[in-house]
Structure 1
Amino acid sequence: MLQSMQAPLFFALIAAFVTSIGLIAVAARGDWSERHSGLFALAAGGMLVTLSLLHITPEAFALSRHAPALILTGFLGGLMLSFLVRAVFPEGGDAGQAAAITPVMAVATHAFIDGIIYSVTFAASFSSGVYAAASLLLHKFPEGVIAFAILRRHGFANRQAFLLAFLAAAATTPLGVIASAPFMYGLGPETIGALFALSAGLLLYVATGPLMEPLKEETPMRSFLALGAGVGIAILIATLPVHGPEKGHGLSPLASHDLLDMVP
């Protein structure tokens, strides 16, 4: 099993490194990042909505017939988690920082699922794993930025935000590989599609809910530019030609084909 983990774990560590670069880029200017955390949150919201609709949701529909219900389940799950956090921390004290729990957990969940995808696609074939890893690496850079911006906006110090964002957005991808490695040959396309769908729903809730709160504080023009920047970056990421010899999105068509071949 250790030998079969080498390739997916190697690419997962690269993903964690790429995420950390994005994290370092904003953490190096912590005070500036804090002052503009609202704009970062709006840009992050634009990125998450766009990547969810262009990258995660299509893969969920391609692999799982239950994708619509599971996307709704993920969305409502994020809403219920947010209500639970507010019930536990109703006001004052740690309430502001507690509000970061739901969005940061969403980022961590998605990054963990990326690790599972690495394991499963490399189990299908080495080429499909490489294509999938290349595709997934594209959105790793902004994940660190998103997690850091969320934490800074909710009152975490620069060092705290860096550490927690690293744990949520970077460390969880190798952890996903390690946790899924013993079961990777038993995870079929339906399971992977279900994970994509739940992740898409959860991220859509975060993008349209907590990350849109700065709309009340920023001017319309600044808000529009921040959202537009996030959407533009996500579209650029989604359209870069790194999907192997065939056209496609998210996991390469070769990876998706090999996933389907794993069904008994």
Structure 2
Amino acid sequence: MFSLFQHYGVLASILAAGVSLAGVAAVWLARERVAAWSGLLAAFAAGLLLTSVLTHLLPGAFSVTAHAPLYALAGYGLLLLIAGMTSSLSGHGDGESWRNSGAALTAWLGISFHSFVDGGIYAITYEHGLETGLMTMGGLTAHKFIDAVILFSLMILYVTPRRALLWTIAGAVLMTPLGALVTTFWLDTHVLADRAAAFSPATLQPGHAHDHAGALGPLLAAAAGTLLYVSASHLVPHMMERKTRMALPLFSLGCAASLALASLLH
């Protein structure tokens, strides 16, 4: 039976999904401009994601688990493996179609897995208590709109606008509530099973939240690895190949935006 605060965590993830959906609606209404500017948006996204990984996700994962580098390497290696497989398949049959599908899949996996982990963070912080959940909710929810815009901008590079819309809804909108639900079920089944009494904030021990956060450490590190691949090994080479004059300034602007956002939300 879910605790009251666990319900809050799921509700918070649904609110975050609503914010992501607003981002999807915004880019869908402006999809022609997004398609025209997708290369420049990809350069901005590369700077934003790479800075977020190096200054926020990886340090956060390192503080939770000593094995974070291995999990990050596994996440990076998984997307590299997928990219390698689709690249080899591009030599057979419709090569261009395979290349586009592989590029779209790796970008989608990186961002959607990060959204799934965000949902797990909602569940764990609200399970610890309402105040902790509300403090975390502000920072996480604020970037969900941007996540949706970035994912749609990447998808439209490789697939039709309608398919890009469906991929974005699945990855940026639905993955966050799914992560919260899966984590809540896991907490209820494995972590909270030993509690004889009903959940009460007064029963929590000081280290309780960190014990639960440690369960997400491997996922957080793996998400950092996948986003590191998407930004450094996928978007940056794509940006350099296009040789657009505004690419490097927009990449730098993305780095600055990530640092500014982190400063405002923490």
Aligned length: 240
Partner residue in 2 for 1:15: 16
Contact 1:97-1:151 at 8 Å conserved across structures:
no
The one-letter code of the counterpart of 1:195 is L
SS in 2 for 1:60: helix
Q: How far is 1:2 from its partner?
A: 4.3
Alpha-carbon separation, structure 2, partners of 1:55 and 1:214: 23
TM-score normalised per structure 2 = 0.84
Between the aligned partners of 2:235 and 2:97, the Cα distance in structure 1 is: 21
Question: Are 2:50 and 2:228, in contact at CA under 8 Å, matched by a contact in 1?
Answer: yes
| % identical aligned pairs | 28
Deviates more, 1:81-90 or 1:167-176: 81-90
- CA–CA distance in structure 2, aligned partners of residues 72 and 98 of structure 1: 20
Residues 167 and 161 of structure 1: is their aligned pair in 2 closer, same or farther, counting only changes over 3 Å?
A: same
Cα offset for 1:108? 0.7
**What is the TM-score with the length of structure 1 in the denominator?**
0.85
**1:93 aligns to what SS in structure 2?**
helix
Q: How is 1:182-197 mapped onto 2 (pairs within 5 angstroms)?
A: 182-184=185-187, 186=191, 188-197=212-221
Query: Any stretches of 5+ residues in structure 1 without a counterpart?
Result: 244-264
- Residue 62 (1) aligns with residue 63 (2): yes
Q: Is the 2:71–2:221 Cα contact (8 Å) retained in structure 1?
A: yes
Q: 1:93 to 1:26 in 2, by over 3 A?
A: same
| Unaligned 5+ runs, structure 2 | 192-210
Q: In structure 2, what is the Cα distance between the partners aligned to 1:239 and 1:177?
A: 26
The worse-fitting range, judged by mean Cα deviation, of 173-182 and 81-90 is 81-90
Aligned partner of residue 132 in structure 2, secondary structure: helix
Match of 2:81 in 1: 80
Q: Kindly report which structure 2 residues correspond to 1:1-264, keeping only aligned pairs within 5 A, or say none.
A: 1-4=1-4, 5-90=6-91, 91-154=95-158, 156-184=159-187, 186=191, 188-212=212-236, 213-219=238-244, 221-240=245-264, 242-243=265-266
Name the aligned partner's letter for residue 131 of structure 1. Answer: M
Which amino acid is 1:223 matched to? A
Residue number in structure 1 paired with 2:207: none
Cα RMSD for the two superposed structures: 1.8
Shift of 1:16: 1.0
**Corresponding residue of 1:260:** none
Report the CA distance between 1:149 and its aligned residue: 1.0
Whether contact under 8 Å (2:41, 2:153) holds in the other structure is: yes
Deviation at 1:3, TM superposition (A): 4.8
- Provide, for residues 159-188 of structure 1, a one-character-per-residue CA deviation record: whole Å limited to 9, x for no partner: 221121011111100011111212126373
| Letter of the 2:235 counterpart | L
